[in-house]
Amino acid sequence: EHMQELSDKAEELGRSTAFTNSDAATAMVELGKAGFDAQKVLGSIDGVLTLAAAGGIDMGEAATIAAAALNQFRLPAEDMGRVVDVLAKGASSGAISLSELGNQFTFAAAGAAWASKMYLPPSRHSPLSWVLTRLVQHSLESRRRCRSRQKQHLKSWTDSG
């Protein structure tokens, strides 16, 4: 029964979006690997599609990133829309791509989730927003330092020649 629902949804997405039914099926498999049951997959797949389109990434990668965020913060699948909004906002800052954000997020989320619960009043920020803000700030600072070093190397190279 659930397999047919999943198949029907993948076909629907393949017909009605820029993604193929195979793309949708891949995302569904990734959500399943992350521990989502069929109902959670069906409830989350539209958000995954939105995230993939917003980030210019494939649906499988979007599913992996979004599922990691939900799982790290122990959020229900019903929060996928909110998670997608936060992830897309973080990636749209221009400081970091969604793929980079996903990579950094998987390493930082567990500790940051704990730290945000310890140091933030619950009404002020969600832990997910807090993590993304820190990751974007870190990325901006890293890029600034890298550009500064490049300028120093270029200056020393041109001065010596």
Quick one: pLDDT at residue 119?
46
Quick one: pLDDT at residue 100?
80
Quick one: pLDDT at residue 118?
45
Question: For 74, left (φ over 0), alpha (ψ -120 to 50), or beta?
Answer: left
Task: Taking each helix axis as running N to C, give the angle between helix 38-55 and helix 2-16, from 0 to 180 degrees, rounded to the nearest 10.
Answer: 20
Rounded mean pLDDT for each run of 10 residues along the chain, 161 residues in total:
91 94 95 92 92 91 89 80 82 75 66 52 56 62 72 75 58
Quick one: pLDDT at residue 110?
57
pTM of the model: 0.71
